[in-house]
Amino acid sequence: MKKNILKITLSIILISTSLSAQIFQGKAIYESKTTLDIDFSKSGIPADRIKMIQERMKNNLERTYELNFDKTTSIYKEEEKLDQTTGGGGMRFMMMRGGVSGKHYKNVQTKRSTKDNEFSGKKFLIKDDLITYDWKMEQETKMIGEQMCFKATTVVDMPVRREMRFGRRNTNDEEKNENDISNKPTAEPVIVTAWYTLDIPINQGPGDYWGLPGLILEVSARDTKIMCTKIVMNSKEKVELKEPTKGKIVTQQEYDEIVIKKTEEMRERFRNERQKSGNEGRMIRVHN
């Protein structure tokens, strides 16, 4: 009799835990901003054109994301908006940015990550283990909205950012610059600062970031900051946190190699087009 009671009690606990996991769900909205300090003084570009360029750059360097999560899984996705990357009057604005165009699924229980991404007209499914961060807990605290947040830092190897250039292009200078770049390191250590809240005790966060004892509300790395602007808990509208399934399955390393190869092909095509037309025009190229 006692054994039966014990079995019933354990069953109730398991059912209760399962229901609790299903009920607990939240949504966090994040704004990502990248600051670029560009000196246009020697560009020869008129002031009104500089203002237009700065507005277009701002449009490309500010993004809004939505993170839906429960106790073990999350989906991070950029909110759609019109991407303006070209200007009139011979001005070309190219934003070569990384990141994921589709859903980014993270499961902290299985330690797996799946990214649904489209690049160069093809769909990819980037499957990999979650990145392991060596977080260092700091003593500092601050308020983000109504949440008390704690600071944590780590060091991450990130791709070296290529020099941003603007103005008229010179083929000889371009080739020299490409040779200089090929001799430089491709990655560098970057300090990442995160702020997390124990009020939402899940180890999720924006993008690739996770692994702290509370939801990550802010991340800063280099000149990019990702800041949570809104949190909604246990809304009546539930979101199904399904892992993406469509696309060619690759690892992150394989995908990065594909992007590098295709980007170089695209740059070579643009270079040939400029040489054939005899009109180099003006170009601003941002590598992010």
Average pLDDT over residues 63-69: 96
pLDDT of residue 60: 75
Cα distance between residue 249 and residue 125, in whole Å: 5
Summarize pLDDT for 114-135 with one digit per residue, the tens.
999 988 889 999 999 999 999 9
User: Which of 29-38, 92-101, 229-238 is the most confident on average?
Assistant: 229-238
At 37-61, the pLDDT tens digits run: 776 666 677 777 777 777 777 777 8
Name the average pLDDT for the chain. Answer: 79
Tens of pLDDT, residues 211-250: 999 999 999 999 899 999 999 998 888 888 999 999 999 9
pLDDT band at 165 (very low <50, low <70, confident <90, very high): low
pLDDT of residue 98: 46
pLDDT at 275 over 80: no
pLDDT band at 208 (very low <50, low <70, confident <90, very high): very high
Return the domain boundaries, the chain. Answer: 2-287
Top mean pLDDT of 153-167, 173-187, 240-254 is at 240-254
Average confidence (pLDDT) over 8-19? 39
What average pLDDT score do residues 163-170 get?
A: 54
Q: Are 109 and 130 in contact (CB under 8 A)?
A: no
